[in-house]
Amino acid sequence: MLNASLLSIIEEAGVAVLTLTEGLEKDEFLASRLTRAETQRQLKIMGESAANLPPQTQALLAEVDWSGWQRVAQRLGASGDAEQEALWFAVRSLVPATLMWLRVYRTNQPEVFECKPISDPGGARP
């Protein structure tokens, strides 16, 4: 159930990033304080959710650039050029690629995305 929730959060935040930045060029994006701030917030949500996915789940979804998310998350707190480059890389490369691979995996491995209740080993329910 944790996997499904975290993957859903990643997808929703990714769609928000694409919506916020649609049609913007790099200079326009970096000059827009409100859009940049909300995009950064959504990217942090994606990065934190990616970091909280169990390693086994990340291994099942190996085409997603999990290490790229870790690097972007580290740079989002930086200042200046490093943060700007991380933001733009995430907006134009990492987010679209992540969403594409999650769609592929949702089709090929739907069980990873399913919300299943944790079963009681004793079989009893209260």
In this predicted model, what pLDDT tens digit does every residue of 34-57 receive, in sequence order? 999 999 999 999 999 999 999 999
Higher-confidence residue of 55 and 77: namely 55
Predicted local distance difference test score (pLDDT) of residue 32: 95
pTM over 0.85: yes
Residue 123 has pLDDT above 50, yes or no: no
pLDDT score of 95 more than 90: yes
Query: 34-56: string of b/e by CB count within 10 Å (b at 16+)?
Result: eebeebbebbebbbebbeebeee
pLDDT band, very low/low/confident/very high, at 64 (cuts 50, 70, 90): very high
| Cα maximum dimension of the chain | 59
What is the residue extent of each domain of the chain?
A: 2-109
